[in-house]
Amino acid sequence: MSKIAVIGTGYVGLTTGVCFAHLGHEVICADIDPEKVDALSRGEVPILEADIDRLLAEARQAGRIRFVLGATNAAAECEFAYLCVPTPQGDDGSADLSYVEAAAREIGPVLPTGAVVVNKSTVPVGSTRVVERALGRSDISVVSNPEFLREGSAVSDFLNPDRVVIGSDHQDAAIRVASLYVGVPAPLMVTDPASAETIKYAANAFLATKLSFVNGIAAVCEAVGADVNDVVLGMGYDQRIGREFLRPGPGWGGSCFPKDTRALARIAEDAGYDFKFLRGVLDLNDEQFERVAAKVCDMVGESIEGRKIAAWGLTFKANTDDLRDSPAIEVLKRLSEQGASIRAFDPAVHGPVAELPGVEVVADPFLAVDDAEVLVVLTEWDEFKWVDLDKVADLMRRRQVLDARNLLDRSMLVRRGFNYRGIGRS
Ligand code: UGA
């Protein structure tokens, strides 16, 4: 079993640390936030992530995980140092590597001879070299090992992945990193660093493409009177297409897809290739926010100014409390700008949302719909399906639902006199 330092305890770093400890390794996780380090040291998990509390408790009990302040305190005795720090979007759409470089510069002087530094953060192609330079050590190998973790199910994605990708110019370092995954049932692929880094971007951009495509098909379905749910079901039987990732919605968001898709377009541009198609994928997503907002306006009729709208869902998808680049926020921002009076409910959001200063966030779904003219469903939380519709019908001023996730039972709503509209279906 190996000694692993994990630098950064966001959802990627924390999941990586906890899962490696679960696999039997000795893990030290570092962060720059003293409160977070204290909380994690007490076994308190600051993120909403299935199973992580249990695995952290087990690892602490077995003495296989510790949390420390500052990267050097974790890296001084490690055999592997995983960089799991943020790579936010820079002003020009490219990924900002400053956190990665700073972490590498910090641990460079203290890493034991022969240690391997592993890049798990999503970094532009060529970053392995950037990290090598920042480390300033010829005895340290740098390996790319991109993550494919979905928020909310990151633990299960780590322990049962579709594949593990390792990119390195040093075969011995690649084999050592591969050995960390003993016990993980997945194909393991070793390639060069540029290919590993590209795999990560290409995978996210392809998934985003699938979603923009299906949202485009939903628009076609509306125009021709087809039902997108049946259309994607029929498409998904074709194994070359597959059933996953074909749910239409209010657009795609989160901390990864928008940032990574823009970054790939930028990487291509910098390398001399104008990836028009990918820019089209991004434009379609912006259009989707507009389309959903326009549907709400259309259901209200005339002017939306001062009209009461209810929103269910604020997070970028269900089972997370993450609001970053949330399609729900994009849609509500547009409605708010036109003067709508909005009350929103989300099971994971308990206070005002900075990007939506005019929107009142309430504590239950009924408070949101009280006296509203349209209810718009923006996140696919399972609990929305079980809300008492009779009560909703009684409370609303007009019985109108725009179900931007095609989540609710249309016939139950229609039976109660609702004007129901979905995405890609009437
Ligand atoms: C995504 C990828 O799925 C992970 O493989 C990747 O590792 C991660 O980004 C990352 O780069 O770190 P995540 O951001 O957690 O994971 O979110 P997803 O579950 O992929 O959902 C992204 C967006 O697509 C959400 O807004 C979601 O609501 C939307 N979506 C997803 C749909 O509208 N329809 C679908 O059928 C699926």
Terminal-residue alpha carbon distance, the chain: 57
**Residue 82: CATH number of its domain:** 3.40.50.720
User: Quick one: 209 and 150 in the same domain?
Assistant: no
Report how far ligand 1's centroid is from the alpha carbon of 274 (Å): 25
* Distance from residue 257's CA to the centre of ligand 1 (Å): 7
Please say if the pLDDT value at position 93 is more than 80.
no
Same domain flag for 97 and 201:
no
Each residue of 404-416: pLDDT tens digit?
A: 999 999 999 999 9
226 lies in the same domain as 332: yes
Question: Do residues 294 and 414 share a domain?
Answer: yes
Do residue 199 and residue 179 come from a single domain?
A: no
CA–CA distance, 115 with 172 (Å, rounded to integer): 12
Please tell me the predicted confidence (pLDDT) of residue 323. Answer: 96
Residue 125, pLDDT score = 87
Same domain, 86 and 220: no
C-beta of 245 in contact with ligand 1 (< 6 A): yes
Closest residue by CA, ligand 1 atom 20:
150
pLDDT at 124: 85
Together in a domain, 141 and 221? no
Domain of residue 292 covers 192-426
CB of 322 sitting under 6 A from ligand 1: no
Kindly state whether residues 185 and 44 are assigned to the same domain. Answer: yes
Closest alpha carbon to 145 in 135, 131, 133: 131
Last residue of a domain, one of 141, 165, 191: 191
* Structural domains of the chain, count: 2
- 268 in the same domain as 402: yes
More confident residue, 311 or 90: 311
Q: Both 109 and 225 in a single domain?
A: no
Among 29, 221, 256, 297, the active-site one is 256
Instruction: Check if 256 is active-site.
Output: yes
Q: Is 366 in the pocket of ligand 1 (CB under 6 A)?
A: no
Same domain, 154 and 143: yes
Residue 382's pLDDT band, with cuts at 50, 70 and 90, is very high
Q: Identify the domain boundary among 191, 215, 241.
A: 191
Name the pTM for this structure: 0.94
Last residue of a domain, one of 191, 210, 240: 191
Across residues 359-386, what is the average pLDDT?
A: 98
Predicted confidence (pLDDT) per residue in 213-241, tens digit: 999 999 999 999 999 999 999 999 999 99
pLDDT score at 92: 81
What DSSP character marks residue 235? H
Angle formed at CA 353 by CA 352 and CA 359, multiple of 5 degrees: 70
| Contacts of residue 419, Cβ cutoff 8 Å, sequence gap at least 6 | 299, 398, 399, 400, 401
Distance 211 CA to ligand 1 centre (A): 10
The per-residue pLDDT for 88 is 86
Interval 2-22 mean pLDDT = 97
For residues 160 and 201, membership in a common domain is answered with: no
> CA–CA separation, 217 vs 207, rounded Å?
15
Residue 126 predicted with pLDDT over 90: no
CA of 328 to the centre of ligand 1 (A): 14
Mean pLDDT, residues 251-257 taken together: 95
Residue 95 has pLDDT above 90, yes or no: no
Q: Is 201 in the pocket of ligand 1 (CB under 6 A)?
A: no
Average pLDDT score over the chain:
96
Residue 394 pLDDT > 80: yes
